[in-house]
Amino acid sequence: DAKTTQPPSMDCAEGRAANLPCNHSTISGNEYVYWYRQIHSQGPQYIIHGLKNNETNEMASLIITEDRKSSTLILPHATLRDTAVYYCIVREGGNQFYFGTGTSLTVIP
């Protein structure tokens, strides 16, 4: 079962930062936080993942709170192509991914 809670939908103005929150209050010490996104009728795309420290790559930044009970995915300069459903998943290494309901992000021109 999904162990995360995300808002069902969010809007963001094009060019602005999109901050997508995720609550994972029952996360265990060995579980990583993963973010994927799914553009309509395509397979999910990996964005970023982390364990304890904040992470940044060419797509996004991941901010994990010190108690690890929540995290925020940041898309620094949202474009129209970032419109998608974003999934936050917690998982212990090697185990299956169980998807929650995700956040539908709409980037507005």
Partner 1 sequence: GAVVSQHPSRVICKSGTSVKIECRSLDFQATTMFWYRQFPKQSLMLMATSNEGSKATYEQGVEKDKFLINHASLTLSTLTVTSAHPEDSSFYICSARVRASNYGYTFGSGTRLTVV
Of the pair 14, 21, the CB lying nearest partner 1 is at 21
Of the pair 53, 109, the CB lying nearest partner 1 is at 53
Alpha carbon distances (Å) from 17 to 14, 29, 74, 97: 8, 30, 7, 27
The strand pairing partners of 92, in sequence order, are 31
Residues 34-63 touching partner 1, rule: CB under 8 A, are 34, 36, 38, 41-46, 49
Binding mask 59-98 for partner 1 (x = CB under 8 A): ----------------------------x---x-xx-xxx
Phi, psi of 82 (to 5 degrees): -85, -5
| Both tokens assigned to 31 | 């579980």
Which residues form the interface with partner 1 (CB under 8 A)?
A: 2, 32, 34, 36, 38, 41-46, 49, 87, 91, 93-94, 96-102
